[in-house]
Amino acid sequence: DAGVIQSPRHEVTEMGQEVTLRCKPISGHDYLFWYRQTMMRGLELLIYFNNNVPIDDSGMPEDRFSAKMPNASFSTLKIQPSEPRDSAVYFCASSSAINEQFFGPGTRLTVL
Amino acid sequence: AQSVAQPEDQVNVAEGNPLTVKCTYSVSGNPYLFWYVQYPNRGLQFLLKYITGDNLVKGSYGFEAEFNKSQTSFHLKKPSALVSDSALYFCAVRDNSNYQLIWGAGTKLIIKP
């Protein structure tokens, strides 16, 4: 298995632009998590899905952030409009039931 | 409230010496505990976990962790440190109400030659 795949690996955009981050979880995993990591705030859980259904989005910072999981092999995290304070590394992770989470390589987002 | 504490922001160890990275937790019910490692510009990698059974858990890269229920601790250890062990280490405990992981703030481990 290729592991969790994220794209793009790096994204540089200007304030106000829409940003879409993509994730392909490990096949067979039924949980998918989106995290954000910054120096100031550490690792934060934004939202997670179970069987493609959003379970808890309380970590999503504001309405500018949205996430979807249209099928078991694909998820997106969208920021619209983006702001400089959104600059961070965004990780996607997947797991099966109660087992450990497997992380993707992350997307480093820079908003100018 | 459920929580994880990693009391040390940074741990410095000489190569070849034993290392310990500390973690304490607070959780309702049985604890499910995890250690992850993050190398620079990489995602988090799973090292080991404690679910039940033997209090000493062995994991990847020669690491092990000791579960201590009375002290609510799950310290990460390695008998002989390598320079390549230098990385950021995260402890996590599972919230038994929703299966989310509650993460510690991370400890930067620096192994000096």
Q: What is the block-wise mean pLDDT of chain B (113 residues), using blocks of 10 residues?
A: 92 98 92 94 93 92 95 97 97 85 95 96
Cα separation values, A28 from A25, A31, A71, Å: 8, 9, 12
Name the residue of chain A whose CA is nearest to B33's CA.
A100
Rounded mean pLDDT, A83-107: 93
The pLDDT value given to residue A1: 63
Interface of B with A in 40-59 (CB under 8 A): 42-46, 49
The pLDDT value given to residue B29: 84
Mean of all residue pLDDT scores within chain A: 94
| Cα torsion through A80, A81, A85, A89, rounded to 10 | 30
The pLDDT value given to residue A57: 93
Q: Do A91 and B44 touch (CB under 8 A)?
A: yes
